[in-house]
Structure 1
């Protein structure tokens, strides 16, 4: 994540990193909408569950494009859970743990072993593990889909064990997204930061 940010800012782009509360999709959309301070066109980027958030937050008129980094790209009336159930995947219910405060935590076995090592090294100092938010976040039915009338990009992680590559391709094709395939697993911002930053930079130039 840090390397994506560093690469983009080095290219002169103004980047805002938003910490989502993940208490509900509505709360996360509000956090996104209140976070950006850019003048001019805004490009929203969402990874994994964050794709649900940018899909709804992207209807803001300041938003000119969306980048989905191995993310859910739901249509109106769909949820992240619906999309997961619509495609065969190695990601099953037993790969989620519900924390004491109700958050859905993704177990290590949802990732390839080497990705777990990378993730643990990167995030150890923050004391965080991957989360899909509260139970309701995956059940939330999207009420607006910004990609319907705004350009979008999708980085497909060809080795993804969480959101199947086939589902990523299908969502992107439906949305008319520009597709970039990266041979890696789900945690692309950490494991392929240069490639992810390049996609974001190209998308930013396209909407500027």
Structure 2
């Protein structure tokens, strides 16, 4: 092949390459989801499906709820299993957990979904008492070993409000017992001091008062999105919750 033919062939290759689609922009691809008290990882299914469809690598933590130390350890194991930066997401009590486990260096963003955002030294019991929700004082069944469940009627009315009746009743009956000692644990870390945070506030929440969610979010400097729904936002509003998480992921460099 002479020099002119070689040059023409090279130009054709360059032109063909220019017509190829550009590679997709890189994302902070690792999302770790932490469920709330008396729940399990299945509560995240709608959010998980949406995130994985958008090509995120999603890990769902299963908390033992035997103690907060055990729950923090389970979350840290999930974080340590990731390759690269992590967006750490907590629903409800999961907010306490991610505020402790979120000090791991690969955690680059925190997302609180209808969740507690404790300051160092604060407990769930303290925060609940500061601005009480609507859950009745007698809503819990406490067992001899210190574990508890929420009575089904109270769960349906005050935890699962906003879900279809059949689904609300199902969530009431699939509850996982949790150790009451968790309520007295005083936060030893508040990762939101050093990690950018987002908050999805449930405006109809009867478990964690919306006013408390707003107050904690203002203190943490979280980017706030208000969602018209009850406490179980990951189940009732998975698309909106997914959008908040993806906003956080897009911010990670």
What TM-score results when the alignment is normalised by the length of structure 1?
A: 0.91
Matches within 5 A, 1:147-186: 147-186=192-231
Shift of 1:207: 1.7
Decide which structure has the larger Cα Rg and report it: 2
The aligned residue for residue 60 of structure 2 is 17
1:28 matched to 2:77:
no
More relative contact order, 1 or 2 (CA 8 Å, 6+ apart):
1
Contact 2:48/2:58 (8 A) holds in 1: yes
Long gaps (5+) in structure 1: none
Match of 2:58, SS?
coil
Long gaps (5+) in structure 2: 1-43
Identify which of 73, 83, 101 aligns with 2:117: 73
The aligned residue for residue 50 of structure 2 is 7
Match of 1:93, SS?
coil
Residues 1:113 and 1:60: Cα distance change in structure 2 (over 3 Å) = closer
The aligned residue for residue 120 of structure 1 is 169
Q: CA RMSD in A?
A: 1.8
Contact 2:161/2:230 (8 A) holds in 1: no
Shift of 1:13: 0.6
Q: Runs of at least 4 residues of structure 1 off by over 6 A?
A: none
Residues 1:89 and 1:13: Cα distance change in structure 2 (over 3 Å) = same
The aligned residue for residue 159 of structure 2 is 111
Contact 2:200/2:226 (8 A) holds in 1: yes
Q: Distance in 2 between matches of 1:130 and 1:169?
A: 28
Identify which of 89, 104, 114 aligns with 1:45: 89
What TM-score results when the alignment is normalised by the length of structure 2?
A: 0.76
Shift of 1:138: 1.0
Q: Distance in 1 between matches of 2:127 and 2:55?
A: 36
Contact 1:118/1:191 (8 A) holds in 2: no
Q: Distance in 2 between matches of 1:184 and 1:113?
A: 8
